[in-house]
Amino acid sequence: MDILLTSAYLAPIQYYSKLSQCGMGTAHIEGHDHYTKQTYRNRCVIADANGPLALTIPTEKPAGGKCLMRDIRISDHGNWRHQHWNALEAAYRHTPFFLYYEDDLRPFYEKKMAFLYDFNMQLTQLVCDLIGLHVTLKPTAEYLHQPDGVEDLRSVITPKVSWEEDRAFHSVEYYQVFKDKHGFIPNLSIADLLFNMGPESILTLNASR
């Protein structure tokens, strides 16, 4: 089946459960929507020793009014690449699979990319490859107001809507390194599942849909 999703930075497990549901189909990644703040486009949530931690990529918008997602540039403000990688390393270095995957992910925090959409697309493709999701990721050529033959999930996965309202997704518990301290935290970034569960991440995703 084909689906339509927004662009997302190390998206939550709910997002990747949709990619798992897509199977060998195509996931169209929207790049022609208007960029809005407080979404998963430039924000992910991981779990560190103190509980949930949001990591946000600073962005630059062209002067003027509304801007398309594909035109949003990444800002170098606050040395965010260094901060995000340090946060990921501090949170997950004691997980079973951090050392296994760190060489794959670290380059995204060492090189500079101009556009957030491109950064997200390449990172999402890498995560799919690491997990074993064989879905085809395809940038949209235009904004689809009423997509035909495609399941539109653009408004389903957002921090403004609880994942619990998505009847096609349920949170499956898995090992989390800080579970004894905080209890199980559902629907974190895919990074949490990947570093904690490794090759078994696909089983969790399949069971979540």
Q: 26-30 and 43-48: which strand pairing?
A: unpaired
What pLDDT sits at residue 16? 98
C-beta separation of 153 from 3 below 8 A:
yes
- Closest alpha carbon to 159 in 52, 58, 80, 70: 52
The angle at the Cα of 42, spanning 151 to 68, to the nearest 5 degrees, equals 65
What pLDDT sits at residue 111? 92
> At residue 182, what is the residue type?
H
What does the domain layout of the chain look like in residue ranges? 3-208
pTM: 0.95
Please give the chain's pLDDT, 209 residues, in tens.
Answer: 899 999 999 999 999 999 999 888 899 999 999 998 889 999 999 999 999 999 999 999 776 678 999 999 999 888 999 999 999 999 999 999 999 999 999 999 999 999 999 999 999 999 999 999 999 999 999 998 888 889 999 999 999 999 999 999 999 999 999 999 999 999 999 999 999 999 999 999 999 98
205: which 2 tokens?
A: 């995703």
d(CA 156, CA 115): 24
103: which 2 tokens?
A: 């060489």
Query: Within a 10 A sphere around the Cβ of 157, how many other Cβ atoms?
Result: 23
Query: Within a 10 A sphere around the Cβ of 32, how many other Cβ atoms?
Result: 15
Query: Within a 10 A sphere around the Cβ of 34, how many other Cβ atoms?
Result: 10
What pLDDT sits at residue 64? 67
What pLDDT sits at residue 169? 97
CA distances from 125 to 90, 130, 138 (A): 24, 9, 10
Q: What is the strand order of the sheet 136-139 is part of?
A: 136-139, 26-30, 3-6, 151-152
